[in-house]
Structure 1
């Protein structure tokens, strides 16, 4: 829970703290290192600068770099990487966790470029594709770049332990599932298979994120990025499924409702956002197709909406009793995680 000056002043008014204690507490909090991400101008500048630097060596890489040849690309990548690691260590020594994590992420993002250059230098690059296509197309031979990125990412994340370092690892896991599908399928870009792989790989990433969440919630939010790309992969996979069965469409709606409930339970907004999108899509389908000419449909939706509001009122009145009883049946580690989220 984040405390504001107003919260402390309210505590003084309620005689929980004395005025002198509140002043000392405010001074103490001001002296603490600013290590967690916040939406302020300083952190916005950090992330803008970091994403520009990372984007320059990834998404926005142009064909001009091909003129350096494989060896040239390898040496330039190593030079940039050494600078990135040096800056990471400098910022770490100064207690600046956010820029340190961004610089470490920059090093991880350089890995596929270095591996691409090495493959070009060794003459083992299999076709005429170029590095910039790594972020645009699905190809089996990106696997070497992805596996190398995962290895470097895990090493750097283990050494520095900044949550933002997990971002390129999560992205690479997502890429890896898509490219490995093409390889397993013998180079065939089977759309149905890719949708199924998206669903199951998303579920695996969500399970991995949940495991990380339970193990590390007392330290930092290392699970955020894996949750994000896991939910995206799963939700896109189920949303692209096609069926003429009304039952299948209703099951899709219920899955999205379950995502919303899960997001509220473990305090992960990404589940709620995508679950709400899915529910909205289903309701939009009902309005535009199944009940297109029914005057009862808007009235029914209104009643359903009011019913949910009523459920919210009941939940607010009985939340402590319900959650206390429900959590008593959960494993200790999961109970502690949920209690920390709602502290």
Structure 2
């Protein structure tokens, strides 16, 4: 339930709390919410500006920057990093603004690949005909040094600042590394897309499990697992959805996995599971409608009845939700019980 000022006012009118207590509580909640990422105009400006600056040094890097040469790029990256660290310290410890501080710290982190590229280029170690902007277009084992350095710097920055947004580039870097490392290990430097789909599935699953482990181990109000869940679910679901199969049994298993994702998302209060699980379920039902039962008269009626049955199941669940949740949670490990208490 979302708590707002009107609810607190109603509570004071019913003598549950006084008007002074309602005002003090609302002021406290309003101040606390400023440190929690949300869909507020201030936060939108923070992230928009941050993503533009981050994108300028990563996705939108132009070939014109190659004219600076390797040492020039290294110097620019280090100069930007020093300025970014100063801003992070100022915003976090001077102004007590953790959200913009997390963005500036992330900006420092995403400069790491550029700095390593500049160093390699300056030493003449870079592959012929490849440029920094190719990092985001081509899968190549030669990027591994840049990715390892990014993870190392990310670990240091997380240890220093404890800001959740720093996990975002770390999650992306881990995904890049999986795509570069697996072909190298299997001696498959050609673009075997089936291998990459399987890599995406297993990597996404591992990242999701890592996010869950962080979730149950962290008692902080800050959500360090969010970006790992997001990238883990996206990569797992995308790889699974893109796998080609002519087996109806495999497609049904895919449907069941997506239903399981919806259930997991509801239990953990993680919308990313629900969103992608619903997309996968809709994909399977679309397959049934347009391929398997395309000439069937009964299929739409049956599907309608199933939908109404699910709605009725939701009504029954709502009536007995507290008792069911209590019984289920009593069967779970203590740490998971604590996680569910925090999430709900």
Tell me if TM exceeds 0.5. Answer: yes
Q: 1:101-124 deviations in whole A, cap 9, x for unaligned?
A: 000000001000111111111111
How far apart are 1:220 and its partner, in Å?
Answer: 0.9
- Tell me if 1:39 matches 2:24: no
How far apart are 1:217 and its partner, in Å?
Answer: 4.2
Give the aligned partner of residue 311 of structure 1.
313
Aligned residues between the structures: 342
Give the aligned partner of residue 286 of structure 1.
288
How far apart are 1:32 and its partner, in Å?
Answer: 5.0
Moved more, 227-236 or 122-131: 122-131
Confirm or deny: 8 A CA contact 1:33 1:95 kept in the other structure: no
**Alpha-carbon distance in structure 1 between the residues aligned to 2:26 and 2:270:** 29
Aligned residue for 1:54, secondary structure, equals helix
**Alpha-carbon distance in structure 2 between the residues aligned to 1:31 and 1:324:** 33
TM-score by length of 2: 0.96
**Alpha-carbon distance in structure 1 between the residues aligned to 2:33 and 2:343:** 22
TM-score by length of 1: 0.97
Mark the runs of 5 or more structure 1 residues left unpaired by the alignment: none
Aligned residue for 1:60, secondary structure, equals coil
**Alpha-carbon distance in structure 2 between the residues aligned to 1:36 and 1:29:** 11
How far apart are 1:166 and its partner, in Å?
Answer: 0.6
Which structure 1 residue ranges, 4+ long, deviate > 2 Å from structure 2? Answer: 23-34
Q: 1:250-274 deviations in whole A, cap 9, x for unaligned?
A: 0000000000000111011111111
Mapping of 1:127-146 within 5 angstroms? 127-146=128-147
How far apart are 1:317 and its partner, in Å?
Answer: 0.7
Give the aligned partner of residue 72 of structure 2.
72
Q: 1:288-326 deviations in whole A, cap 9, x for unaligned?
A: 000001110110110000010011001101111111111
Mapping of 1:171-182 within 5 angstroms? 171-182=172-183
User: 237, 240, 243: which is aligned to 1:241?
Assistant: 243
**Alpha-carbon distance in structure 1 between the residues aligned to 2:91 and 2:227:** 22
Q: What is the RMSD of the two structures over their aligned residues, measured on CA atoms?
A: 1.3
How far apart are 1:3 and its partner, in Å?
Answer: 2.9
Moved more, 89-98 or 185-194: 185-194
Give the aligned partner of residue 256 of structure 2.
254
Confirm or deny: 8 A CA contact 1:69 1:120 kept in the other structure: yes
